[in-house]
A and B are shown apart, each in its own frame.
Chain A
Amino acid sequence: MKPSPLLRVAGLYKNFGGVQAIQDLSFDLAQGELLGLIGPNGSGKTTAVNLITGFVKPTEGEIIYRGQNISGLPPYKIIRRGIARTFQMVKPFYQLPAYKNMIIPLYSPRVKKMVGGKYGDRDAVALDLLEEVGFERDAFVAYKSASVLPQGYLKRLELAKAIALQPDLIILDELFSGLSLAEVASIVPIIEKLRLEGKTIIMIEHRLKELFRIADRIIVLNFGEKIAEGLSNEVMESDAVKKAYLGAEA
């Protein structure tokens, strides 16, 4: 008996004014999977994530998380149930140092509930979490103001903010964009570690080579529709995908 999926998206439609952003999107996501969501620009990947996390309400369809329909709930309620996401355009609180940026996710009621009782020192927890994503402790990087940090560290900060929420499902929206190969290579182990902890992950990416190395399954979107689903090599062989991806890197 296959265990029920952690996340099930069924018949999802989203219409923005005249633009059909998502058409009949359905897929299941099992616990512990790493799903890669790819597709050309404008294919609706971020919209799909916005729908799942409640930032946008679906026109039609259902999103079922842990057996419960979450479509239509406001984002804060969905996130409190254990879904966390990063944003494509990283916008930290620029005037604050990096570790102070972490205070806000650590203030989340979910974190209080999971860790229990009087939390204690959020600052210390923030510093620990940042160290885990690669903020070197002895260089005191975590104390630097977010306005001076380069993109690589900002991306890690964004990831740390998601991890801080103690989620079961993490959605990473183009985490690798803007990073050098070395930076990507150093972030991958962090993602692997999350998988070992049993977390389920969805990654939206354009950096396909790096994604294919770690993803279990791939879904390809184009113009809001799912045009392929399966293992990375299967998907890349498909004609529909080749047509959609004319000119994209592989």
Chain B
Amino acid sequence: MRNADLNSGGSKQRRKERIDRGIKARSSDVFALSSWREMLYLAAPRFIPIVGCLMLPLVLGIYWQKVLLSVAVFALLAISWDILEQSGMISLGQALFFGMGAYAAGVFNHYFGWSPLLTIPFASLLGGMICTVILLPVLRLRGIYFSMVTLIIPLMLVRIVEATKIFGGTEGLSGITPLPSKWLELYLIVGALLGALFGFRRMMGSDYGLVLKGINDNDRSVMNAGINIYWFKAQALFVASSIGAFTGAFMTHVYMFVGMPVFALDYSILPIAAAVVGGPGTMAGATLGAFILVPLSEILRGIGGLRIVIYGLFLVVFIVALPEGIFHYIQRKYHQFERWVEV
């Protein structure tokens, strides 16, 4: 609640103090019901994003609707990354999950003729399962192995697809059935984002999430509580990879195409940048980061490859200088105010 920075200026010593805002104190627990203002204070941060996201598809033009689609996809990938990160697994390969789901959906549709309403859920789960099984062995090792393996496997898969010409090879699979309507496209992904955001935020805040975070913090201690940490990690991995696979499957039907590019480094980097910039450890930060970076990258499309250079630098700057991310900063400002106090 309080945070003091010492800053001596001149003869009088001053100190910066952070105190919870009155309204925060008044709206904690059941007292929030005492007035509309308090309830608004609590409801606004949840209400505004929901309403905003639901309204956006209606007010945006075609081009920006596509951008919104992208934002939602990357936000979901960033949320998936964040779930893994909170459980102690740092993934450098969200593209693996994305690509698995994308190809699964493409294959189901192209070779078996399934409709998108069938391929998307199946591809999400199947993609999630395959990725979990591949990564199971590294769960027993130090975290760095997870990062290494998730980094190289999608990169290897790109080259393998190119070489063996499997599933369409370099040309990929085209002519994939699109979703029935553009509105369904938009609202499905936005709905998924909102669901994931609030749902997984809840999950990580619950006792279950506490166990996962405990595994990240001190796995020996959690083992000592008779909990099978590998099973828990596998669960988190399955959830996160299924989310990633979902976005891949979804995009296959949006682009009506799936090919090697689904394993591209872009899908791995941008979610991490979004989560790091927005604030790791909160799904809302990941979402916020996506809302900032994706439109930014659209606007900066003109400068081509320099974008990725900037992401790289962003990553470094934020992780070193502002590891808490933008969301935490905003959250702090919302709940607390600072003032100089004489000592």
Residues of A within 8 A of B (CB): 53, 55, 74-76, 79-80, 84-85, 87, 91-93, 95-96, 100, 103-110, 122, 161, 165
Q: Cβ of A105 and Cβ of B214 under 8 Å apart?
A: no
Q: Cβ of B221 and Cβ of A109 under 8 Å apart?
A: no
A75-B218 CB under 8 A given contacts A104-B211, A107-B211:
no
Q: Cβ of A76 and Cβ of B227 under 8 Å apart?
A: yes
> In the complex, what residues of B have CB within 8 A of residue A85's CB?
224
Does B226 have its Cβ within 8 Å of any Cβ on chain A? yes
Sample 15 A-B pairs with CB under 8 A, ordered by A number.
A55-B220, A74-B228, A76-B228, A76-B229, A87-B221, A93-B217, A100-B210, A103-B210, A103-B211, A104-B214, A105-B225, A107-B207, A107-B208, A107-B211, A108-B225
Q: Cβ of A91 and Cβ of B227 under 8 Å apart?
A: no
**Shortest Cβ distance from A54 into chain B, in angstroms?**
9
Q: Cβ of A109 and Cβ of B218 under 8 Å apart?
A: no
> In the complex, what residues of B have CB within 8 A of residue A108's CB?
225-227
A104-B223 CB under 8 A given contacts A76-B229, A93-B214, A93-B217:
no
**New A-B pairs, 9, CB < 8 Å, besides A93-B214, A107-B207:** A74-B228, A76-B226, A79-B223, A79-B225, A80-B226, A104-B210, A104-B214, A104-B221, A107-B227
> In the complex, what residues of B have CB within 8 A of residue A110's CB?
226
Q: Cβ of A109 and Cβ of B224 under 8 Å apart?
A: no
Chain B contact residues: helix, strand, loop or mixed = helix
> In the complex, what residues of B have CB within 8 A of residue A95's CB?
217
CB-nearest residue of chain A to B225: A105
Pairs of residues from A and B, 6 with the lowest C-beta to C-beta distance, nearest first: A79-B226, A108-B226, A105-B225, A80-B226, A76-B228, A108-B225
Question: In the bound complex, what is the Cα–Cα distance between A108 and B207 (angstroms)?
Answer: 11
Per-residue A-contact encoding for B224-241, CB less than 8 Å = 1, 0 else: 111111000000000000
CB-nearest residue of chain B to A85: B224
Q: Cβ of A165 and Cβ of B225 under 8 Å apart?
A: yes
**Shortest Cβ distance from A145 into chain B, in angstroms?**
11
Does B222 have its Cβ within 8 Å of any Cβ on chain A? yes
Q: Cβ of A75 and Cβ of B224 under 8 Å apart?
A: yes
> In the complex, what residues of A have CB within 8 A of residue B226's CB?
75-76, 79-80, 105, 108-110, 165
**Shortest Cβ distance from B100 into chain A, in angstroms?**
30
Q: Cβ of A109 and Cβ of B207 under 8 Å apart?
A: no
Question: In the bound complex, what is the Cα–Cα distance between A108 and B208 (angstroms)?
Answer: 11
**Shortest Cβ distance from A181 into chain B, in angstroms?**
28
Chain B contact residue count (CB 8 A cutoff):
17
Question: In the bound complex, what is the Cα–Cα distance between A80 and B226 (angstroms)?
Answer: 5
CB-nearest residue of chain A to B216: A93
Question: In the bound complex, what is the Cα–Cα distance between A84 and B224 (angstroms)?
Answer: 8
**Shortest Cβ distance from B316 into chain A, in angstroms?**
25
Q: Cβ of B224 and Cβ of A79 under 8 Å apart?
A: yes
> In the complex, what residues of A have CB within 8 A of residue B224's CB?
53, 75, 79, 84-85, 87, 161
Of residues 171 through 228 on chain B, the ones whose CB sits less than 8 Å from some CB of chain A are: 207-208, 210-211, 214, 217-218, 220-228
Question: In the bound complex, what is the Cα–Cα distance between A75 and B225 (angstroms)?
Answer: 9
**Shortest Cβ distance from A11 into chain B, in angstroms?**
26
CB-nearest residue of chain B to A91: B218
**Shortest Cβ distance from A67 into chain B, in angstroms?**
20
Q: Cβ of B227 and Cβ of A109 under 8 Å apart?
A: yes
A93-B221 CB under 8 A given contacts A104-B211, A107-B207:
yes
Of residues 83 through 133 on chain B, the ones whose CB sits less than 8 Å from some CB of chain A are: none
Question: In the bound complex, what is the Cα–Cα distance between A4 and B89 (angstroms)?
Answer: 45
Looking at A75, A84, A100, A122, which has the most chain B CB atoms within 10 Å of its CB?
A75
**Shortest Cβ distance from A140 into chain B, in angstroms?**
14
**Shortest Cβ distance from A70 into chain B, in angstroms?**
13
Q: Cβ of B223 and Cβ of A75 under 8 Å apart?
A: yes
> In the complex, what residues of A have CB within 8 A of residue B223's CB?
55, 75-76, 79
Question: In the bound complex, what is the Cα–Cα distance between A100 and B213 (angstroms)?
Answer: 12
**Shortest Cβ distance from A159 into chain B, in angstroms?**
13
Question: In the bound complex, what is the Cα–Cα distance between A85 and B211 (angstroms)?
Answer: 19
> In the complex, what residues of A have CB within 8 A of residue B210's CB?
96, 100, 103-104, 107
> In the complex, what residues of B have CB within 8 A of residue A106's CB?
207
> In the complex, what residues of A have CB within 8 A of residue B214's CB?
93, 104
Question: In the bound complex, what is the Cα–Cα distance between A17 and B88 (angstroms)?
Answer: 30
> In the complex, what residues of A have CB within 8 A of residue B227's CB?
76, 104, 107-109
> In the complex, what residues of B have CB within 8 A of residue A105's CB?
225-226
Question: In the bound complex, what is the Cα–Cα distance between A161 and B222 (angstroms)?
Answer: 11
> In the complex, what residues of B have CB within 8 A of residue A87's CB?
220-221, 224
Question: In the bound complex, what is the Cα–Cα distance between A210 and B161 (angstroms)?
Answer: 69
Question: In the bound complex, what is the Cα–Cα distance between A24 and B334 (angstroms)?
Answer: 63
Q: Cβ of A122 and Cβ of B207 under 8 Å apart?
A: yes
Question: In the bound complex, what is the Cα–Cα distance between A109 and B225 (angstroms)?
Answer: 9
Question: In the bound complex, what is the Cα–Cα distance between A124 and B309 (angstroms)?
Answer: 51
**Shortest Cβ distance from B35 into chain A, in angstroms?**
27
Question: In the bound complex, what is the Cα–Cα distance between A106 and B224 (angstroms)?
Answer: 12
Per-residue A-contact encoding for B245-287, CB less than 8 Å = 1, 0 else: 0000000000000000000000000000000000000000000
> In the complex, what residues of B have CB within 8 A of residue A53's CB?
224
